[in-house]
Each structure stands twice: as C-alpha cells, then as structure tokens.
Amino acid sequence: MIPLFFVALSVIGERKVDLCPLVRVSFTMRYSVRILALLLGLLALIFTPAAYANGKTLTGKVMQVKDGDTVVISPEDGGQFFVCRLYGIDAPETAHLRFGKGGQRFGEEASRELKRLILGQTVEVTTTGQKTYKREVCLIKKDGQDINLEMIKRGYAWAYRQHLKRPYTSEYIEAENEARSKRLGLWKDNNPSPPWEFRKQQRGK
C-alpha cells in the first residue's frame, strides 16, 4: 500500500498545475515530494509493529506479562518491543475492566504464575511466523526450559489442540493430562471451561 502511495505522489509531482485560467504557471514539486515520501517511509518503519520470519530466534527481556499466555518482549539487539502470544497453550482469560469484560477462574493465578517464571527475565524467543490479533506467536525458553510447556505442567494452561503441531502435540497434551490427574492449578475445579469456549460465549452476549 505504501509503495503505491509513493508512486502516486511522484506522478503528481511531475504534473503541471494550473493556478489560473488566464495565467498558466508550470512548476515541479519533485524535490518536495521526494522529501515527503522519505519522511512518510521513515514514519511507517517507526510505527509498524515488529514482524519476524518463520523460525527466527532472538534473545529478549520480558517487559510485561499481559495474562497467562501473552507477554511483551524487548529484543536484546535493540529492536522494537513486540507482543508475544505463547504458542500451543491457552490460559484462562483475565478480566478486562477497561472493556467491561469479566475473566475466568484461575485467570489471575495463571498471569501471576507466568510473571513468577519470566517477568523481567532474559529469555530465548522463537517466532513461528504466525500472528494473532497483531501478536507474534512464539515459543519461549528460559535457561533451556520450555515456558509454554511449563505453564501446562503447572496446571495454568490448556494444551491448545486446535493449533498444536508436531513435535509439540504429544508432549503438550501429555503434560495437560498429567496436570489434570494431579489436580494442579485450574484442574482443582472438576470441569473448568476452556478459554476458547469462554470467548465464544462472551462474543455471543
């Protein structure tokens, strides 16, 4: 979209402009248009969220934990902050008071658990190339520990079967089954409602 806009500006810059029906003054805005195009390009780079290719691995610091499966990463190389949605897991929804939306049981507990694990810590982030609601989908490791998997093991997230792929599928599902059998975290409830069902109900209201 932006390159097409620049082309349009260049074309306009080369056209002759009639300032008066009687006196036709021809001039070019070539240099002013080029400067404007350059400034717009720089602004686009500044304000466009960071995007990473499939399988890119980087080191960054966890600046914020938004909920039990979403964090904000500051790349160690000085790149833009970006929002990371943990791959293959789905944690209970937290309340969004700003939008008047209630949360699920264990939503706040899941958020606190993720904070204990990685908030303020330097982690290894591997992007999948997927995006959801402008968030990069990522795998996070701390000192070699799979944090996504750890949240399932501790009973604070479901294995997100709809989006799981090999080689993670069996390991994540097995971790969920084990946490459920031990009644850890959210599995203290007999029949907790999965977040995807909760979100569907919320959209229907």
Report the catalytic residues. Answer: 85, 93, 135
CB contact burial 154-192 (16+ within 10 A = b; e otherwise): bbbbbbbeebbeeebeebbbebbeebeeeeebbbeeeeb
Phi-psi region of 24 (alpha: psi -120 to 50; beta: other; left: phi over 0): beta
Three-class SS of residue 128? Answer: strand
194 cis-preceded (ω within 30 degrees of 0): no
User: Are residues 102 and 26 in contact, defined by beta-carbon separation less than 8 angstroms?
Assistant: no
Element (H, E) at 177: helix 169-182
Three-class SS of residue 72? Answer: strand
